[in-house]
Amino acid sequence: MSKLRRAGIVVLLLVGICIAGGYAYLQQPKFGALPAGVRLQAVERSPHYVDGEFHNLVDTPMRTGDSGFASNVLSMLLDRNPNLKPPVALPSVRVDLKALPPDQDVVIWLGHSSYFLQLGGKRILIDPVFSINAGPFPGTNVAFDGTTPYSAEDMPAIDVLLITHDHWDHLDYPTARAMMAKVRHVVVGLGVGTYFEGWGYSRDRIHEADWNTTLTLEPGLDIHVLPARHYSGRMFTLNKTLWVGYALQTPTRRLFFSGDSGYGPHFPDIGKRFGGFDLVALDSGQYDPRWAYIHMFPEEVAQAAQDLGAQALLPGHIGRFSIAAHDWNEPFDRIVKASAGRPYTLLTPRIGEPVILANKTQRFSQWWEGVACVSLLKKM
């Protein structure tokens, strides 16, 4: 056998091993599965599911400008912006969530798009990610130092777990598994229930819903599943499950959580429908001109909060992961500037710092400025 032929065989074997290894890796339960059976039937009945995929209410290309998908990926992997991550561990607050007065309405930002709520005596968890890495492969989306003060063990029993969509930084397999014994109800967009059923949750605990659906799973709490402007997909297949936002309504409170969303007419529509909100938590980071329609720029966030009739704005999708090329602290600075003169109060708590809804005078520091100063000192 010639050396060339032997080399060719070795190369083919190596390619085969890589393919087999990659296939085996993708069979891990964290990747989930596509909707099938009755769940697929529910997906196919949705008016928003056309030609085999979900569509936004308005035309929403994933990529804008002249760059293509490959250049976007390379930019995300190779961007050398030295300020993508904070220079030191971010400050956070750790409170005993199990000891909070049960009748106190409170929102606690857990970093990025994760929130713990007490509302009308119910405990709610939104998009919890307690893992250090929020990506399909190790090291692909690592949390900033200091931004994971809570774990599943710190959570009390949860009445309702809300998931906005199936992206890795919103739907975390280790967290979902760790929370399984503590969660009474899971609410998700159409198709996302497939993940939870595959991960061991009983079907009767999983509630899938289309846009503009209202669920009342606990007395005194209405959960409104509402449109967002985004996309879905855990790996290679896109838009087979629905992305959503949530309005939570009790006899005395109205809150809105956008999930991941670009700016669009759904914000003024929702504002008119509900007549305003006590607090809105909006997608405020990971924006880029190359994907301008699927995440909001801070100036759009300020307009969306006003469209929604918000009394208070809590910026989200920031402060824990770096997915876009902007400085880690840029969204905070821009939303402060964009909120000047607006009719709502801007809330900027540290991760874990409670927002007491009954306290209309509560104010928070611009804590990120001190962290950014450390970066400037290091450069001197």
The pLDDT tens digits for 29-59 are: 888 899 999 999 999 999 999 999 999 999 9
CATH number for the domain that contains residue 94:
3.60.15.10
- Cβ pair 159, 123 in contact under 8 A: yes
Is residue 322 within 8 Å of 86, Cβ to Cβ? no
Cβ atoms 364, 332 nearer than 8 A: no
Question: Is 29 contained in some domain?
Answer: no
Q: Say if 9 falls within a structural domain.
A: no
Q: For 206, what's the count of Cα atoms within 13 Å in the CB-facing half-sphere?
A: 21
How many domains, the chain? 1
**3 pLDDT tier (thresholds 50, 70, 90):** low
* pLDDT for position 21: 52
CA distance 5 to 13: 12
Q: Domain span at residue 285?
A: 78-379
| Residue 50 located in a structural domain | no
Residue 185 placed within a domain? yes
Q: How far is CA 17 from CA 8, 31, 211, in A?
A: 14, 21, 44
Q: What is the pLDDT of residues 247-293, one digit of tens each?
A: 999 999 999 999 999 999 999 999 999 999 999 999 999 999 999 99
In a domain, 25, yes or no: no
Q: Is residue 28 part of a domain?
A: no
Angle among Cα 363, 95, 372 to the nearest 5 degrees reads 55
For the stretch 182-201, pLDDT in tens is: 999 999 999 999 999 999 99
| 318 occurs within a structural domain | yes
8 within some domain: no
- Quote the mean pLDDT of the chain: 91
